[in-house]
Amino acid sequence: DVKVTQSSRYLVKRTGEKVFLECVQDMDHENMFWYRQDPGLGLRLIYFSYDVKMKEKGDIPEGYSVSREKKERFSLILESASTNQTSMYLCASSLMGQKRTQYFGPGTRLLVL
Amino acid sequence: KQEVTQIPAALSVPEGENLVLNCSFTDSAIYNLQWFRQDPGKGLTSLLLIQSSQREQTSGRLNASLDKSSGRSTLYIAASQPGDSATYLCAVRPRANSGGSNYKLTFGKGTLLTVNP
| B89 contact residues in A (CB cutoff 8 A) | 42-43
The span from the first CA to the last CA of chain A, in angstroms, equals 37
Give strand pairing partners of A20: A77
Residue B31: pLDDT above 60? yes
Residue B70: pLDDT above 80? yes
DSSP one-letter string for B3-69: -EEEE-SEEEEETT--EEEEEEES---EEEEEEEEE-TTS-EEEEEEEETT-SEEEETTEEEEEETT
Strands B19-25, B4-7: pairing is: antiparallel
As a whole number, the mean pLDDT across chain B is 92
Q: What is the layout of strands, in order, in the sheet containing A19-25?
A: A4-6, A19-25, A73-78, A65-70
Residues B30-46: what's their mean pLDDT? 93
Q: Of the candidates A31, A41, A103, which has its C-beta nearest B103's C-beta?
A: A31
Q: Of the candidates A31, A42, A50, which has its C-beta nearest B107's C-beta?
A: A42
Put simply, the chain B residues between 9 and 28 with a CB less than 8 A from any chain A CB are none
What confidence category does residue A2 fall into, taking pLDDT thresholds of 50, 70 and 90?
low
A13 touches chain B (CB under 8 A): no
Strands B86-94, B106-107: pairing is: antiparallel
What confidence category does residue A84 fall into, taking pLDDT thresholds of 50, 70 and 90?
very high
**pLDDT given for residue B56 in this prediction:** 95
Contact B35, B44 (CB under 8 A): no
Residue B50: pLDDT above 80? yes
Residues A72-86: what's their mean pLDDT? 97
Quote the CA–CA distance of B4 and B92 in Å, as a whole number: 8
Instruction: State what percent of residues in chain B have pLDDT above 90.
Output: 82
> For residue A40, what is the nearest residue in chain B, using CA coordinates?
B109
pLDDT tens digits, one per residue of B83-109 = 999 999 999 998 765 444 567 889 999
Instruction: Give the residue with greater pLDDT, A24 vs B42.
Output: A24
| A43 contact residues in B (CB cutoff 8 A) | 89, 91, 107
What confidence category does residue A96 fall into, taking pLDDT thresholds of 50, 70 and 90?
confident
A39 touches chain B (CB under 8 A): no
Quote the CA–CA distance of B12 and B112 in Å, as a whole number: 8
- Chain A and chain B share a number of CB contacts under 8 A equal to 54
What confidence category does residue A40 fall into, taking pLDDT thresholds of 50, 70 and 90?
confident
Put simply, the chain B residues between 53 and 92 with a CB less than 8 A from any chain A CB are 89, 91
Residue B75: pLDDT above 50? yes
What's the sign of the alpha-carbon dihedral A9, B41, A55, A113?
negative
Residues A44-62: what's their mean pLDDT? 92
Quote the CA–CA distance of A108 and B17 in Å, as a whole number: 34
Give the alpha-carbon dihedral of A36, B91, A56, A95, to 10 degrees.
Answer: 110
Instruction: State what percent of residues in chain A have pLDDT above 70.
Output: 96
**pLDDT given for residue B100 in this prediction:** 47
Residue B80: pLDDT above 70? yes
Asked if A42 lies within 8 A of B108 by C-beta distance, the reply is: yes
Quote the CA–CA distance of B98 and B89 in Å, as a whole number: 23
A79 touches chain B (CB under 8 A): no
Residue B117: pLDDT above 90? yes
**pLDDT given for residue B97 in this prediction:** 57
